[in-house]
Amino acid sequence: MFGMLLGMRLYQRHARETEAERLFESGAYAAALTLYEELEDEDAAALCRQRLREADYAEAERLVKAGDYQGAEALLNPLGNYRESAALLRDCAFLRAGALAAAGEAEQARELYLSLGDYPGCAEALKELVPALYARAMALAKAGELERATALWTECGDYQDSAKLLKRAGQYRTRQADAYRMKVSDRTRRLENPYYKRAYRTEEAYILLPEEPNAETRFFLYFPGGRNEELYTEFLYYYMANPAPNTLAVFLRRNDLPDMAGCCAKGFRILDEAAADCGLFVDSVLAAGSSLGAYPALQAPLIAKRDFGIEIPCVLSLDAGNQWSEAALVPTDAQCRELARLGTQLYLFQPTWVDTDYEPVARMVNAGCWVMLAGCLHNDHEQITYDVFELGIVDWALGTREDPCPGDIYSFRRLGK
């Protein structure tokens, strides 16, 4: 019985050895390794492990060439210092970073490039990544993720408006962290009215907050008419009766004439404060002004870009005061050229006969500004503003302005030199 049992065990071992050899010869090294470990044949097991490393390394090289960098990394990581595994892993990380950058994943690409230290090409790749990081930072800021946006704008250095945006983001974070500040939406500031639930009044402005602020919220800044006189609130109520959806609107109470730059700076400061309280970030603004308020509205794109890194793609001039005869207020030749360089679209809502016969209008057009005359059927001075607010022109202007303009009381004519 003992001899029979011993013989059976010897036979079974021989059978497992034969099977292990067959598996090894066929390239099934993992299965062979399992048998050799059971047989405690360390030499054969070591050879299996060697062949498995060789196979994984060869497969990793193939995956790198095929662009499957994550698959290659999964095979290379367990290999440790085998052959050129460490170098191939760095190659994978660099190539994967490039693929992420091409796919619009700038943040992830940046993290990979930074992790590679002095790997050849990383410094150049990070510089090429700056425009994408800049755009990503703005998207994060608009979504309320200011800490991540700040890190990316810091990385962007002196690229475009990074320094200005970084400064503003810091001010936003300081304001949001101050638990003792009075918010724009403090209940003591609420403006009682039958139209708009989230309307507030401060000493400087009327502020209309969106119902549900989000990354798609838009921004509108209005400059009142008169010579530094109090806002004519009938205009405000006309707007509140038909407000632009999902828009944070600031109606300044005075235009501070002749200090147009100071008035613009005040408007952007109030927009920033209101946006910070709502978890938003101001990137692009529609500016409009009635009568003498049209002049600071025309200055707004210059101040916004120069001092705040804010874009103003469109300005609505609502029957500029005194038919453009305010020599000290109209844009200078240099300012007109800068407006043209910025590409701001200027919509002049006014009587149809007010065009390039008026020297300031001709000055803007001849400087290369994009100027559209919106001739108004109802050409009464105040009615022009009433109609713009009542018909929802602000909502239209906040969009692409490619759709038909609301109402049928305007005749649009692009002014040429």
Tens-place pLDDT, residues 194-206: 889 999 999 999 9
Options 3.40.50.1820, 3.90.950.20, 3.40.190.290, 2.40.50.140; CATH for 200-414 is: 3.40.50.1820
Mean pLDDT in the chain?
Answer: 88
The reported pLDDT for the residue numbered 8 is: 59
The 3-state DSSP class for residue 107 equals: helix
**pLDDT over 70, % of the chain:** 91
pLDDT at 151 over 70: yes
pLDDT at 46 over 90: no
pLDDT (average), residues 88-106? 85
The reported pLDDT for the residue numbered 147 is: 94
Lowest mean pLDDT among 23-27, 213-217, 251-255, 360-364: 23-27
Chain position carrying tokens 């002749």 = 258
pTM for this entry: 0.82
The domain ranges of the chain are 2-102, 106-177, 200-414
Whole-number Å distance between alpha carbons of 37 and 87: 31
pLDDT digits (tens, 9 = 90+) for 111-147: 888 888 888 888 898 889 999 999 999 999 999 999 9
Whole-number Å distance between alpha carbons of 248 and 221: 9
pLDDT (average), residues 331-349? 97
Q: 14 phi and psi, to 5 degrees?
A: -60, -40
Angle at 399 between CA 393 and CA 402, to 5 degrees: 90
pLDDT (average), residues 292-321? 97
b/e code 212-224 from CB counts within 10 Å (16+ = b): ebeeebbbbbbbb
b/e code 9-28 from CB counts within 10 Å (16+ = b): eeeeeeeeeeebeebbeeee
The reported pLDDT for the residue numbered 183 is: 92
The reported pLDDT for the residue numbered 96 is: 85
Q: Is CATH 1.20.1300 what the domain over 2-102 is classified as, yes or no? A: no
Neighbouring C-beta atoms of residue 99, cutoff 10 Å: 16
Q: Are the beta carbons of 224 and 231 closer than 8 angstroms? A: yes
- Residue (of 66, 13, 64) closest to 41 by Cα position: 13
Give whichever of 324-328, 395-399, 404-408 has the largest mean pLDDT. 395-399
When pLDDT is cut at 50, 70 and 90, the band that residue 68 belongs to is confident
